[in-house]
Amino acid sequence: GALSAAAMNILIPIYLGEFVEAIALWSNRDGIPSGVLPTLKLFLAYVVQILGCFISLLSISPVLTGTLLSSLPCVFLIGSLMGAELRRLSQKAQSQHSIASSVAEESFTHIRSVKALSIEELQLERYRNETEKARALNEQLGYGIGVFQGLSNLTLNGVVLGVLYVGGHLIYRDELKSGQLMAFLVTTQTIQRSMAQLSLLFSQVLRGSTALNRIFGVLHDSSRTELLPQRTQSFTSDKLYEQWSQPGHAPDLQFDAVRFAYPTRPEAVVLDELNLSIPAGNVVALVGQSGAGKSTVVSLIERFYNPSSGRVTLGSHDLRGFSLSSLRGQLVGYISQEPQIFNTSIRENIRLGKPNATDQQVEEAARLANAHDFIMNQLPNGYETRVGQGSDSVAGLSGGQRQRIAIARVILKNSPFLILDEATSALDAESEAQVQGALKTVMKGRTVLVIAHRLSTVRGADWIIVMSHGKVAE
């Protein structure tokens, strides 16, 4: 849940493969959760055993115990220095595994493009190269852990020899009996074995710590896109939604001196003191060359990001004052160039716009979106036809059909502000005509922002705004 709710500025810099691998470690039967309890039990057992042995050593000979304790700083110094290096190497190996997983994931996700470009061998070679780097790093990590364990045992054996040497002198001066020295040595050996086992546990902890750091990092940062302080939330989004959804009451939208740069490239300013006004109840087309900032405007309206400075207001209310669920789930409707169809029935795909909608409301939304006829006449089970990527799904819908399903969702959602992001640019003439008819229905009485390149898309706009280099050009 936290992963899907995480802010875009957290998710974008992170390889998907990294999360796939981290979550696999978490969910696997032999992964982190199943290994935590046994590891914790062993750790506590060894620590308690070591503490108990030290109490026994003190009772046998405080002098020898002092000798033993004086050598421990050296042991801990070696352990901390090598441990830090091994942790760094483990993180590097984990990241490399993530890169390799991402190469495989993107190859399967974009399998059509891979085959169309005939780059199967190239992608396979990329994957081999990345996995070879991961193998080399894991090999280094294995050698490092082996050296760490070897040095640990060597150091502990050196400590035992030192104890034996001092104990011999104490026996020679009649300050210690030979039986006591033997008991001391046996107890010291027990400590040595326990510490050796702790070093083995350390290697197991290394494997999961990097993955856990990434998972908990997202859990910690998932609310990075924050609300404004409570004192600014003097409105109730439900009441505003009810008011703005009424015919003739749609809100306006304003960008006031908005400046923005993506977190991954803070030096590259995308929007530079942008002032933009979308009047209430109007259709405004936003046009401009690629890179002008149109998609960034959409991202700020949906609050995938917050402005670096300035503010974006809907009906004079700062967007940061709305919860993300009310902003995206009620107030703002979005139709993209390639709407997503989920692996469920047509009915449930439309119902995503309003999860508590009745079947009658779903079908009425489909009629308004010009989708009812093809659903009933062309799909084998009508509204119950399962679509998507599952094995029991029917063949994929056409581009125009997918768009009309997405429009039906937005009609059901009844959002007062709509964003049409290149909504018909990928359609043929016949499909575009059908979708344009559905769009006219959904746009009535709403404030609409249209992102477009094609003249046919902006023909019915009340205003056309041209963007260039993050500003309004005309």
DSSP 28-49: STTSHHHHHHHHHHHHHHHHHH
The closest alpha carbon to 225, from 122, 312, 126, 110, belongs to 312
Check residue 393 and give its pLDDT: 43
Coarse DSSP helix, strand, coil percentages of the chain, rounded to the nearest 5 percent: 60, 10, 25
* Contacting residues for 423 by C-beta, under 8 A, at least 6 apart: 335, 336, 337, 403, 435, 439, 450, 457
Distances in whole angstroms, Cα of residue 44 to Cα of each of 25, 39, 321: 23, 9, 48
173 three-class SS: coil
Alpha-carbon 472 to chain mean position:
33
What digits encode the pLDDT tens for the residues 130-159? 889 989 998 998 888 888 878 877 877 787
- State the burial class of residue 447 (Cβ atoms within 10 Å of its Cβ: 0-12, 13-18, 19+): buried
pTM over 0.85: no
Rounded Cα gap, residues 365 and 432, in angstroms: 19
* CATH 3.30.70.141 for the 237-472 domain, yes or no: no
Q: Which of 403, 242, 420 is nearest to 331 (CA)?
A: 242
Residue 399: CB partners within 8 Å, gap ≥ 6?
A: 338, 426, 427, 428, 431
Cα 443 from Cα 281, distance rounded (Å): 9
The predicted pLDDT at position 234 comes to 40
User: What are the φ and ψ backbone dihedral angles of 214, each rounded to 5 degrees?
Assistant: -70, -45
Dig out the tokens for 327 from the structure: 């902003």
For 248-279, the DSSP string reads: T-PPPEEEEEEEEE-TT-TTSEEEEEEEEEE-
Amino acid type, 113 = S
Question: What pLDDT score was predicted for residue 232?
Answer: 41
- Residue 418 Cα distances to 291, 298, 355, 413, angstroms: 22, 10, 19, 11
> What SS3 state is found at 332?
strand
> Residue 253 carries which side chain, given as an amino acid letter?
L
Query: Which two structure tokens, joined as six digits, stand for 205?
Result: 């902890």
289-292 CB contacts, 8 Å cutoff, 24+ apart = 289/468, 292/467, 292/468, 292/469, 292/470
Residue 394: per-residue pLDDT: 47
The residues spanned by each domain of the chain are: 1-220, 237-472
* 1-220: CATH topology: ABC transporter transmembrane region fold (1.20.1560)
* Cα end-to-end distance, the chain, whole Å: 43
DSSP letter at 83? H
If you ran DSSP here, which 8-state letter would residue 421 be given? Answer: E
Q: Which contiguous run of DSSP H or E holds residue 386?
A: strand 386-387
Q: Which amino acid is at 109?
A: T
**Residue 124: its pLDDT value, please?**
86
Cα gap 45→57, rounded to integer Å? 18
Q: What is the Cα gyration radius of the chain?
A: 32
The residue ranges of the chain whose pLDDT is under 70 are 1-37, 112-113, 115-118, 199-200, 202-236, 388-396, 423-432, 453-457, 474
The count of other CB atoms within 10 Å of the CB of residue 454 is: 12
Helices and strands per DSSP (H, E), number in the chain: 17, 12
